Amino acid sequence: MFSRGMQDIYSGLRPVDSPYALFDHDLQHRNMPFEFPVCCPIHGGADLYYSSIQMPTIAFGTGSKWKGQDVTVYVQQAIKLGFVHLDSAQFYRTEQHVGKAVQESGLSRSDLFITTKYSGLGTARWAITGSLDNIGVKSVDLYLIHNPRLIADIAATWSEFEKFKNEGLTKSIGVSNFNLEQLQKLVKGSSIKPAVNQIYFNPYNYAENKELLAYAAKHGIVIEAYSSLSPITRFPGGPVDEPINAAAKRLGATPTQVILAWVRSKGVAIVTTSSSEAHMKEYLHVADLRENLLRLRDPLSLADLGTIPLAALTEEEIAAIDEAGAKGEPTDLELGLCCRQARQGLLSYSYISMLILFAIYVAVMYHFVTTFLLAPSSSPQ
């Protein structure tokens, strides 16, 4: 065992050569390109030198539109389809529903990776105790500071997080919504480094996050993305639509799958959600995400997710999406124009439909009049 006085204790996801490699202390001194493995080991530091856990690179999220709602059915459906990473938070008020779905899944605790977050409500100690009670587990796999804006004293809170990890209440600790400066300050002043920084990430803000991604890679901190599908859900009609649609056509994939594949090409993990079974399968069909599931357990046959995995995006396609995303999100005016054009298209469609219905009505009436009202009388003379 290594002494804490001899080295920094990292609770981080390492840029390792193999998805299953154990912690290599020399990695923290290398300035190597970051490759996010399909299943990324989270290493507990010196005291857990010979053990590791693995974080699936796609998580089923229970925030967003689900805040305060009973998501039990959707979490159960996600688990059934193959999601093994579940993401919640104190603020979402969905932890108890995640817990219920986990308890009823029939899976052992080790089959699932559970993330939740401290959202600044009450003390950190009170919050993690409540979260564990809500979920019905003795520990979570990853515990995050939800947002630095919700925390009065980040250094003191992180010190508590380090205690939680040492006490076994969580296997790893991390942060969410930290910018580069905030992450640098935390890393510099901490004993246990954050394993993850979960951020808002998509092609439109990739350029502004390049330095953050590079810094995280250098320090073995995994970036995890939420709202990656914003180009489709929030900003349709923007600059990235063209290269995304072109890649989708080549691959025989959907634009959603192309975006997820693009996120993975940046070495970034994914948090996404849906109430639709079809959409969940669509997410999981992205090639390396499927491999991620099959490495952890085999909940489905390959046929259940499609017989042919999606091919990788080419470097040219990735570069085209990068370049388009650097132009920025469409403005409110552009979005308004897009919506107006859509409305105009809908109105045109409705107008044409009305004309067709009117023509059918006229034809029917003409047939009725000529057949029954104007026909020669057949009565005897």
- Please list the helix, strand and coil fractions of the chain in percent, rounded to the nearest 5, in that order: 50, 15, 40
For residue 375, the SS3 value is: coil
Q: What is the pLDDT of residue 3?
A: 29
Q: CA 206 to CA 328: how far, in whole Å?
A: 10
Residues linked to residue 56 through DSSP beta bridges, in sequence order: 39
Q: pLDDT below 70 — which residues of the chain? A: 1-53, 287-311, 332-353, 366, 368-381
Residues labelled catalytic: 92, 146
Annotate 274-288 with b (16+ C-beta within 10 A) or e (fewer): beeeeebbbbbbbbb
Q: For residue 19, give the amino acid letter.
A: P
Query: Which single residue is written with the structure tokens 């059915």?
Result: 73
Task: Tell me the pLDDT tens digit for each residue of 140-152.
Answer: 999 999 999 999 9
Q: CA 84 to CA 81: how far, in whole Å?
A: 9
Residue 82: which of 370, 263, 284 has the closest Cα? 284
Q: CA 289 to CA 294: how far, in whole Å?
A: 9
Q: For residue 300, give the amino acid letter.
A: L
Q: CA 144 to CA 139: how far, in whole Å?
A: 13
Residue 25: CB atoms within 10 A of its CB come to 13
Query: Which single residue is written with the structure tokens 């969940």?
Result: 280
Torsion of CA 42, 44, 50, 52, to 10 degrees: -20
Are the C-beta atoms of 49 and 1 separated by less than 8 Å? yes
Query: How many residues appear in the chain?
Result: 381
Task: Tell me the pLDDT tens digit for each residue of 295-333.
Answer: 444 434 334 444 334 568 899 999 999 999 999 998 765
Are the C-beta atoms of 267 and 223 separated by less than 8 Å? yes
Cβ within 8 Å of residue 104, ≥6 positions away: 76
Q: CA 154 to CA 147: how far, in whole Å?
A: 10
